[in-house]
């Protein structure tokens, strides 16, 4: 995977990661839908909970716009399951334990995950890129980018 900075209009780097259920999820499996791919540092921390619950609260509107949400952090599948259950999160959380995908998206710095989101269109092309964004702004901008 490339570590070059990504640009709107470029193809989103494809990947396969394990999900909170243990099932492998491939980004390209969502072609035909818009994807809000968001990177967050750690399950069940203040900012990450704010961001996840924001996407949860807007999820019906996101689905209406032919979009899905995929959350990515280095936490384990078990940690993700607990986080999803505690906050009733309706979307998939992915495990990026080796930071490979976060690095490809420019969402990793030496000490940890950089709060970011990427909106990917139905053809797999980057439509919105927000790196170093606050939890609330991430939700607002991502929902707006999918037409919400």
48 given a catalytic annotation: yes
Q: Are 84 and 20 in contact (CB under 8 A)?
A: yes
Give Cα separations from 133 to 35, 42, 54, 111 (angstroms): 18, 15, 14, 17
DSSP per-residue string spanning 70-126: EEEESS-HHHHHHHHHHHT--SEEEE-TT-HHHHHTT-EETTEEPPEEEEE-TTSBE
| Set 17, 48, 104, 142: catalytic member | 48
Q: Are 108 and 98 in contact (CB under 8 A)?
A: no
3-state secondary structure (DSSP) of residue 17 = strand
Catalytic residues: 48
């Amino acid at each position: 995977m490339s570590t070059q900075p990504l640009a709107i209009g470029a193809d989103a780097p494809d990947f396969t990661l394990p999900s909170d259920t243990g099932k492998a999820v491939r980004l390209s499996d969502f072609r035909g839908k818009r994807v809000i791919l968001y990177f967050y540092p750690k399950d069940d921390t203040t900012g990450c909970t704010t961001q996840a619950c924001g996407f949860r609260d807007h999820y019906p509107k996101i689905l209406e716009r032919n979009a899905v949400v995929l959350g990515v952090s280095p936490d384990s599948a078990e940690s993700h399951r607990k986080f999803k259950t505690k906050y009733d999160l309706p979307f998939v959380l992915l495990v990026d334990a080796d930071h490979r995908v976060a690095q490809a998206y420019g969402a990793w710095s030496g000490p940890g995950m950089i709060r970011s989101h990427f909106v990917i269109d139905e053809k797999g092309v980057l439509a919105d890129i927000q790196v170093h964004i606050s939890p609330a702004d991430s939700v607002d901008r991502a929902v707006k980018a999918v037409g919400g």
